[in-house]
A and B are shown apart, each in its own frame.
Chain A
Amino acid sequence: MRVRTDHWHLPTRPLLSSLLGVLLVTALAPRPVAGQATPSVSGASAQDPAALVRRIEQLEAQVHALTERLGGSLGGSTLPPVQSASGPAPAKDERGAEDEVQAALHEHEGADGPRMQVRGYADLVYRRGAASAERGFGLGQADAFVTSRLSDRVNVLAEAVFEGSEANELAIDLERILLQFAPSDRLHLSVGRYHTAIGFYNTAYHHGAWFQTATSRPRMFAFEDDGGILPIHNLGISATGQLASGPLGLRYVAEVGNGRAATPGAAPVQNVTDENRGVAVNLGLLARPDWLPGLQAGVSVYRDRLTPGGSRIGETIVAAHAVYQASRLELLNEFLTLRHGVAGAPVRVSTGFYSQAGVRVGRYSPYARIDYLHVNALDPLYGAMGRDTGLAAGLRYDVGSWAAIKGQGERWSRRTGDPAYGFGMQLAFAF
């Protein structure tokens, strides 16, 4: 279209003044902020006060009716006005959001009684070891982990593990059953069968191989029925909590339980009866300082009296750990001494440590571990175990967020005999 330039001329003075005035007022008038709904009253003309009053009365009646309905469904609680920060949402989305809030409040109030949460952790392994029992595919552990909130401060935790034996038989073990009471951050009480808080690894990584970086546990934390030397499980009362320590982030652990059985042939975990009158006591102190998130260091002292065959053996386990776990780096270091004292004989001291380092590069986590366990040859309970030194290196690959494939090579040397080599693959997952 051609522009007719011959009609371009300055308007007369009164017209120009009016035009400029309108433009200035328009330009300088306050604008609604982006995303903020422009106030409007639908269905009523801004020029008609009577219509506006009628509309306000209608809206008040609607608000009153809605308040009564919502108040009834929430046990009389007052609801705030729900405001959309990004303008009016479609009615379907608003209904969905409202349903979501109502469901969350309903669940929070525990109106339906205890609600169980069930998780599963399992692993499958493939091994190539020196012994025939360490070859081929194997079922690791299938862990059914259940928590249930009974009230604001009372929970139940239960864990049952399905596991295969060397005789290829499947068995179910109730690994943990705990009633937990947490009145404050200073005190969490648990009663039942628990994982003894000796060191770090035993409570941080237990059943559920998906959590741990490596395929296997450090030698000194081997399970009781795998020839381990520590009382991994216990039955009794456990208390943990935070201490007023400012940026040090101190926490304590105090446990009193049956301890383990020492009578030859007896099940190591005393689930029903204690073979002696004494109780096992474990006290721990650990720090999680504010200035380095991911760092944890601590010590624990476990004391029990064992009575195998009528003799009396004093058992003391002192463990210390320093671990650092961040997004890209994992450093685990633990050391312990196990002391067994028999009346009239010197105390026999056994020692163990491991040091594990791993880095995380995307989905890959290469790692290495040094493992050492030296059981005193004159130890009254485990003297035949001797000394094991292990070197392991492996790679973990996370397949999505819920599964991992791990490969680990190991070299074990004993005081006597040739070193043993092994290789294992593990598929560990959560569901």
Chain B
Amino acid sequence: MRTFSPVVRVLAACLLAVAAISVVPSPARAGQEPAPDPLVIVVNRQNPVETLSGADLRRIFLGERLTWPDRRRMTVVMRPPEDPERALLLRLVCRMSEPEYVRHLLQASFVGDASAGPKQLSTAAGVRRFIFNVPGAIGYLRVSEVDDSVKVVRVDNRPPSDAAYPLRGEGR
């Protein structure tokens, strides 16, 4: 029986391993959706705020808090109603469904608590660009959508990389 040198055997083993890695399905290929990025809260880079509590976020996105500690006017940026990230934010932060949120905003405006309501932008690039240009703006993105033009604030003093970071989940 023919024998091979150790070098050839090692290379053959590597080849088999590579082939096995290519053939064995990854979790995504096997039909398991990878866990989505956490949602991050983003503000203008000039904003000195580093962290916001869950209660702060709820008040901000419900229009009950209108100014930053430096008295700069807040401008909330939301994605459109059909967007899964918007549904996730409403569920985790506001604890509301889309119809409840719309009704809440209308009622807040009706009683004179909130004046303008959130700005609505349909793309992540649009959100980043608006927040870059408006010092008091605040919005949300997926981690993978963040770049250097905006600043990520911690939530309950936890960065998005923290396992206990609260804004994780599917949008729908």
Q: Does A49 contact B (CB under 8 A)?
A: no
CB atoms of B11 and A20 under 8 A apart: yes
In the complex, the answer to whether A293 meets B14 with C-beta atoms within 8 Å is no
Given A16-B11, A211-B107, A185 and B115 contact (CB-CB distance below 8 Å): no
Could you list some 17 contacts between A and B, CB below 8 A?
A17-B7, A23-B15, A79-B129, A79-B132, A79-B133, A81-B149, A82-B125, A85-B142, A100-B126, A108-B119, A153-B73, A182-B67, A184-B67, A185-B67, A293-B95, A401-B99, A430-B106
Q: Which of A124-132, A144-152, A219-227, A420-428 contacts B (4 or more CB under 8 A)?
A: A144-152
**Chain B interface (Cβ < 8 Å from any Cβ of A):** 7-8, 11-12, 14-15, 18, 21-22, 53, 55, 58, 64-67, 71, 73, 75, 95-97, 99-100, 102-103, 106-107, 109-112, 115-116, 119-126, 128-130, 132-134, 142, 144-145, 147-149
Interface contacts (Cβ under 8 Å), in number, total 131
CB distance from B37 to the nearest CB of A (A): 10
Q: Which of A27, A84, A104, A155 has the most CB of B within 10 A?
A: A104
**Known contacts A185-B67, A247-B55, A104 near B149 by CB under 8 Å:** no
Q: How far is the CA of A314 from the CA of B83 in the complex (A)?
A: 56
Most B CB contacts (10 A, CB to CB) among A85, A93, A178, A290 go to A85
Is A178's CB under 8 angstroms from B14's CB?
no
List of B residues within 8 angstroms of A326 by Cβ: 95
Residue pair B8, A13 in contact (C-beta under 8 Å): yes
Asked if A101 and B126 sit within 8 Å, CB to CB, the answer is yes
Task: Specify which chain A residues have a CB less than 8 angstroms from the CB of B18 in the assembled complex.
Answer: 23-24, 27
- Residues on the B chain within 8 Å of A242, using CB: 65
A409: min CB distance to chain B, Å: 25
Contacts of B133 in A (CB 8 A): 74, 77, 79, 105
CB of A1 to closest CB in B, whole Å: 22
Other-chain contact of A401, B73, B102, B116 (Cβ < 8 Å): B102
Residue A332 is within 8 A (CB to CB) of chain B in the complex = no
Chain A interface secondary structure, helix, strand, loop or mixed? mixed
Residues in A neighbouring B75, C-beta threshold 8 A: 108
Q: For residue A94, which residue of chain B has the nearest CB?
A: B125
Tell me, in angstroms, the Cα distance from A190 to B109 when the chains sit together: 14
The one of A98, A100, A147, A211 that contacts B115, using a Cβ cutoff of 8 Å: A147
